[in-house]
Chain A
């Protein structure tokens, strides 16, 4: 509890959380008050910012601000979805392996290493192309989550195996708790703050990955995303025509979101890792 009070005192955390909150508001609250329309064409391609269209229009003559907001929203959604999947999978596998040790651990490690060995970006692309609907925002998020969990598994595993030898765990073992019971009651609780940090990082990673895929022109076909905005800007020559409004805002948004998450994470690290505290 004291730790969380500490969080609220740390300027880093406040900065990060604040920034992130802003992006959330932009993505989910602003649309309630403003008409976000990514369909209707309101003018010609790449019209510069104006009174009606603060960020001008994109290559399809659609209001850029709307595109940004919609894009930000789906980017965040992907991030959360992928982050959650990756964290849950990774935690379960990591904790179990880390606690059990022995052969099971070795096999699980092999499994995780597999995913580290086969470049996840490639797996991702192949998976998404092998399915008819593979390019929907949801499935992309799913795939990202399913390829990213290995990292969290590794991280969590290390922590879990360090807990393994702790007295209270041994005690529980002696008192004949089931493995699951021990993991749930005596290991997970001690990792919670850590797992939460993993989640934050995974969310950021998810957002970045989606953006990268979209940058390759392999992004979701059923929705706007920041990465896709950038891809379109590049492909339809916003750079050569100097239409900065078509890509600079999107770039800034991605950076801000990721930055905010990183800051929050490091701030938490500072609080939860006593050695870093002072």
Chain B
């Protein structure tokens, strides 16, 4: 089957490479956060020691207990914590931790958060992810679509329209998202008080399928949406514009004109061919979602994965960090893979190059 179907063989090959990448990425995701000598348990201790006078022995006992719970210490056969000469617990080697991590995540268990114990990592992600997706996905997709349309239009019309649209897009796309965010919050949120300065929905509501809640959420959605949308829009428009100008100059467009082929058809030719490279851009953008979410969420006090991740990073909550990065890794890989395959189907030139079939 594979042998005699070059396309399939190619896809399989790519998939192989992607899987390899995935494995390496997972490993890095695991070890990277655990490089530093920081200890989340100490943060936990600091938090737990609120009020009352602390007692040395009790605290050490407590610490040992925590280390044990989070599998950060060597255990002997009877499941007791192994101690060194000074009576201090012996830290578990990264390798043994890595083994148990792989074992667990194979069963889809991302472990338990340390700082938010007893919360499961999966739980943390599943509560935060919908907000992140809800904000980022539409923003990126719409920004991408409208951006490309705008770009194509500018390239085709040129003249006055282009002279306005192009520098405009360039300017917008060079405003960093967070600058735009701060600007919007300050002017529309705080000064004019037209839009809420932050949050995902009115504090007086709890999420439910009520018109009240939906409209509230929609209302709170506008500013963060704009702050990302505009930037994506500008970026895409610029890319698309130069792609289209390139296509417009090609021989096949000239020839099509001389054949008397309809203007609309010719535009379609151009648009489609210029679109193809843009797809890769989309894949990357989608992959960068979670990372990109961070700043928007903090500026707009918007719920989502970004802040979960940031706090995890600042407190070295390994399981959460690793869980999130795993998620990101998977999404990026999938996005890229899909585009790889998709482009193969959409663009014969690339397919021929890929499969080497003439």
**Is B284's beta carbon under 8 Å from chain A?**
yes
A247 at the B interface (CB under 8 A):
yes
Which of B304-322 touch A at CB < 8 Å? 309-310, 313-314, 316, 321
Mark out the residues of chain A between 192 and 208 whose CB falls within 8 Å of any chain B CB in the assembled complex: 204, 208
Q: B21 touching A255 by the CB < 8 A rule?
A: no
Task: Evaluate contact between A255 and B176: CB separation under 8 angstroms.
Answer: yes
CA distance A119 to B290 in the complex (A): 8
The residues of B that contact A125 with a CB separation of less than 8 Å are 313
Complex Cα–Cα for A137 and B178 (A) = 21
Stretch at the interface among B106-114, B139-147, B216-224, B242-250: B242-250
- Say whether A116 contacts B336, CB under 8 Å: yes
**A-contacting 9-mer, from B47-55, B81-89, B179-187, B201-209:** B179-187
- Please determine whether A110 and B171 come into contact, CB atoms closer than 8 angstroms: no
B183 near A275 with CB under 8 A, answer no
B25 touches A118 (CB 8 A): yes
- With a cutoff of 8 Å between Cβ atoms, the chain A residues found around residue B29 in the complex are 118
A: number of interface residues (CB 8 Å):
46
- A216 near B36 with CB under 8 A, answer no
When distances are taken between beta carbons in the complex, the residues of chain B under 8 Å from A276 are 242, 245-246, 249
Q: Enumerate chain A residues within 8 angstroms of B191, measured Cβ to Cβ.
A: 242
Chain B residues with Cβ below 8 Å from A247 are 182, 186
Q: Cβ of B313 and Cβ of A116 under 8 Å apart?
A: no
Stretch with Cβ within 8 A of B (4 or more), from A39-47, A180-188, A258-266: A258-266
B332 touches A123 (CB 8 A): no
Give the CA-CA distance A65 to B321 in the complex, in Å.
39
A121 CA / B310 CA spacing, docked (Å): 11
A120 in contact (CB, < 8 A): yes
Residue A278 CB within 8 A of the other chain: yes
Q: Using a CB–CB distance below 8 Å, which chain A residues touch chain B?
A: 106, 109-110, 113-114, 116-123, 125-127, 129-131, 204, 208, 211-212, 215-216, 230, 234, 239-240, 242, 244, 247, 251, 254-255, 258-259, 261-263, 266, 269, 273, 275-276, 278
For the complex of A and B, the 8 pairs showing the least CB-CB separation, nearest first, are A130-B36, A119-B291, A259-B174, A258-B174, A130-B35, A251-B179, A121-B291, A275-B246
